[in-house]
Structures are given as C-alpha cells and as structure tokens.
C-alpha cells in the first residue's frame, strides 16, 4: 500500500522537474496530477509489452499513479501493472494503484461466445446470480465484487490496493430502479469498508461514465449526495469511524466538460456541479478520457488552446483537465515510452489558475 512517507519521498525525488501543483495531496501523501491509464489496446502480448515499457517509464519518470480495472484488456492490464511495479526502480509504497470491479471480465482474450463464457465461468458456478446481471455483463452484488477484489489482488501480485472503484454502477439502471441501485451500492460499500478494516484496501470510490455529469432527469443519473450518504451508512454498519469513500472518477476534457458545467447535485447552498460537490465533500476527483480517447491529441478548440500551456495539443489537453477545480489528477492512456515522455512534459507547465479556468466558459 502506498504511504505518506514514501509518496512524499517520491515527490522529493522528481518534483523539481515539474511545475507548481504537479504533485497533489492524496490522503496523508501526494500523487502526481497526471496518471497512467490502461484501458485502450487489444488483449495481446504485443500490447502487454508496450504497456509494460510505458508503465516503467512513467513510474521512473515522475508518475506515481496507475489506473486499471479487472476487465481492461481481459485482465491483462492488471497483470501488466503488477509486472511493471516489480520491474521499475520505484518502491511499491511510493505508487498509488487504483483498479475497479463491476464488469464481468474475460480472461486473457475475448471468447468466441461471450454469453456462453459468462454462463460457464460465472453463472453456473454460482459466482453471479442471473437476477443481479445488467446487460449480461455487469454485477455489483457485494459477494461478486468481493471475489473480484481478490482476483485483482492476484492479478496485480499485490497484498493491498490503494483505491478500488465500483465500476459504472449506472449500468444497473438498465434493469432496476435508482433506489435499488443505491441499495446495491450501499451493500458494496459495506463490503469495501470491511476490506479497509481488514487492511488490504486504503480507500474506495465510484468510477462512472455518465452518472455524475448528466442532469437529474437523465436515465443514467445518480446523485452524488445520496452516494456519499450511503457510504456513511455503510461505514457505520461496519463500525468504522469515518467512511472510506474517498474518490470519484469521471470523464472530463475540453469537449466533455459536463462535470464542471452541469449543476445536478444538491449541496448545502443549492445545486452544484459534480466537481464542486466532490470538492466540498472532500472527495478526490480523477478524470478519465482526458484526451477524449485520443481525439484531442490532434488539436483543441482555438479559444481553449490559446489559454492553456503546453508544447503539443495533447499536453494542452492534459493541462486543461488538471486545471479544473477539485481535480486531483488527469488520467491518460499511454502505451509507449514516447507517449509517456510527452505526457510527463505536460507537467512541466503550470495549470490554469481558477480565474483563468472559469474564463474559458464565459
């Protein structure tokens, strides 16, 4: 598990090469405001090699945040993260490792018949109740998520995870009511609170694609205040003094700025955006799709590009994402050391200040 002491030492080792606020607080330690994502790419040996090289370059260059999920690249991404952690000249306690559970993962490759695979690997052995499935591929039953957490530990070759997300819970809204989804989240949170008490998890969160950045009347909407309330109830039920809910992950970039502009969450003084509510609630925010899955690498809207520092469009897009108020880190998929070097160079530039960021939307 990462520690405050080790992450501050990592910051001392690399911090002088970056701009102000490149390293940001995470618990009692710090984390780089650029993280390496592992979602994109085929489940092949070639992509494994590329990710391994990119991960080692990132860890040895000033990125101490790695984000993955059990279903990414048929479990290969988690396994490659573990290999890179062993290979890199960086101690495990200096690195914040985040993963996710919720989608039923393939194992090594995509099967010819995914439905049959799900039935034989998960339903028939009793690992998943068919009634708990959404879209034939998603389950947040506490027992299933608990088992997936153990599998993630095995894939990563680790004894602990720093941040574990319940992955895209809005998928469950396809088959059940919003209240029922909150109930299932609370059950999941209770199990994760138990993992925190057991010592193999530091904190947990919710990773979403739509839920927190859409209006309240959207079919995919989930309320951040209700999610926080359910986490507090889960902590109380387990006997933990404080909730272990510590983070949210959501898309944020120049062309998907809803998390900043859509005021869909009831705060103490009225409706707030997801970013504003998360900041007030003390939640870390990690942005996914910071490059809009590569689209922004070819250019940003001129009105934004001229305001944000960076030598390339990708660097300016990264710096826009990590300039947003309340954002702890922007996640960027990188499957080559060359991309890692470009992304790291973005951190040499200062992010926008609050007024300059707000001015982009005026």
CA distance 32 to 10: 10
Looking at the predicted structure, is the pLDDT value of residue 298 above 90? Answer: no
At residue 268, the pLDDT reads 86
CA distance 122 to 40: 25
At residue 302, the pLDDT reads 87
Share of the chain above pLDDT 90, in %: 91
Q: Which residues contact 125 (CB under 8 A, 6 or more apart)?
A: none
Looking at the predicted structure, is the pLDDT value of residue 119 above 80? Answer: yes
Give the pLDDT confidence of 75-89 residue by residue, as tens digits: 999 999 999 999 999
Q: Which pairing describes strands 23-26 and 29-32: parallel, antiparallel, or unpaired?
A: antiparallel
Element (DSSP H or E) covering residue 98: strand 96-101
* Averaged pLDDT for residues 270-285: 97
* Averaged pLDDT for residues 132-149: 97
* Averaged pLDDT for residues 99-109: 98
Give the pLDDT confidence of 15-56 residue by residue, as tens digits: 999 998 999 999 999 999 999 999 999 999 999 999 999 999
Q: Which band of pLDDT confidence, cut at 50, 70 and 90, is reported for residue 297?
A: confident
Listed range (153-162, 193-202, 255-264, 349-358) with the worst mean pLDDT? 349-358
Looking at the predicted structure, is the pLDDT value of residue 13 above 90? Answer: yes
CA distance 228 to 246: 10
Give the pLDDT confidence of 307-344 residue by residue, as tens digits: 999 999 999 999 999 999 999 999 999 889 999 999 99
Give the pLDDT confidence of 197-223 residue by residue, as tens digits: 999 999 999 999 999 999 999 999 999
* Averaged pLDDT for residues 116-128: 96
Phi, psi (degrees; rounded to nearest 5) at 359: -65, -25
Share of the chain above pLDDT 70, in %: 100
Q: Which band of pLDDT confidence, cut at 50, 70 and 90, is reported for residue 60?
A: very high
CA distance 153 to 150: 5
At residue 76, the pLDDT reads 98
At residue 299, the pLDDT reads 86
Q: Where are the alpha helices (H) located in the chain, listed in sequence order?
A: 4-14, 45-59, 76-87, 114-118, 142-156, 178-198, 224-238, 258-261, 274-281, 302-305, 313-321, 337-346, 354-359
Question: How many C-beta atoms lie closer than 10 Å to residue 337's C-beta?
Answer: 17
Looking at the predicted structure, is the pLDDT value of residue 362 above 80? Answer: no
Helix (H, G, I), strand (E, B) or coil at 245: strand
Listed range (93-97, 164-168, 253-257, 350-354) with the worst mean pLDDT? 350-354
Question: How many C-beta atoms lie closer than 10 Å to residue 110's C-beta?
Answer: 12
CA distance 36 to 341: 12
CA distance 36 to 290: 11
At residue 269, the pLDDT reads 84
Residues 331 and 36: beta-carbon distance below 8 Å? yes
CA distance 89 to 10: 11
Looking at the predicted structure, is the pLDDT value of residue 301 above 90? Answer: no
Domains of the chain from N-terminus onward: 4-16+37-336 (3.20.20.100)
Cα of 65 vs its chain's centroid, Å: 10
At residue 70, the pLDDT reads 98
Residues 285 and 312: beta-carbon distance below 8 Å? no
Q: Where are the alpha helices (H) located in 88-168, listed in sequence order?
A: 114-118, 142-156
Phi, psi (degrees; rounded to nearest 5) at 129: -80, 125
């Amino acid at each position: 598990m990462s520690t405050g002491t080790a992450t501050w030492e990592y910051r001392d080792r690399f911090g002088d090469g970056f701009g102000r606020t490149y390293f940001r607080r995470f618990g009692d330690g710090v984390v780089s405001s650029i993280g390496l994502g592992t979602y994109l790419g085929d489940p092949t040996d070639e992509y494994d090699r590329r990710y391994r090289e990119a991960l080692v370059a990132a860890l040895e260059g000033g990125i101490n945040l790695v984000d993955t999920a059990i279903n990414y690249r048929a479990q290969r991404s988690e396994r490659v993260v573990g290999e890179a952690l062993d290979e890199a000249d960086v101690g495990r306690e200096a690195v914040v490792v985040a993963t996710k559970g919720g989608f039923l993962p393939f194992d090594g490759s995509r099967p010819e018949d995914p439905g049959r695979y799900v039935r034989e690997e998960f339903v028939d052995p009793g690992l998943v109740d068919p009634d708990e499935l959404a879209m034939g591929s998603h389950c947040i039953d506490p027992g299933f998520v608990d088992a997936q957490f153990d599998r993630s530990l095995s894939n990563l070759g680790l004894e602990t995870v720093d941040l574990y997300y319940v992955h895209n819970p809005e998928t469950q809204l396809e088959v059940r009511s919003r209240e029922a989804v909150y109930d299932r989240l609370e059950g999941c949170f209770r199990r994760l609170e138990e993992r925190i008490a057991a010592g193999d998890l530091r904190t947990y969160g919710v990773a979403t694609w739509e839920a927190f950045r859409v209006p309240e009347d959207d079919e995919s909407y989930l309320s951040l205040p209700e999610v926080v309330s359910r986490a507090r109830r889960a902590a109380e039920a387990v006997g933990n003094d404080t909730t272990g809910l510590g983070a949210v992950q959501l898309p944020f970039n120049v062309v998907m700025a809803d998390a900043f502009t859509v005021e869909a969450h009831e705060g103490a003084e009225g409706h707030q955006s997801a970013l504003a509510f998360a900041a007030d609630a003390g939640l870390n925010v990690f942005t996914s799709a910071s490059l809009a899955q590569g689209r922004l690498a070819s250019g940003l809207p001129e009105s934004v590009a001229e305001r944000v520092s960076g030598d390339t469009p990708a660097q300016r897009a990264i710096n826009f994402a990590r300039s947003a108020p309340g954002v702890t880190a922007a996640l960027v998929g990188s499957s080559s050391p060359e991309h890692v070097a470009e992304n790291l160079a973005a951190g040499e530039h200062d992010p926008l200040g609050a007024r300059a960021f707000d001015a982009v939307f005026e």
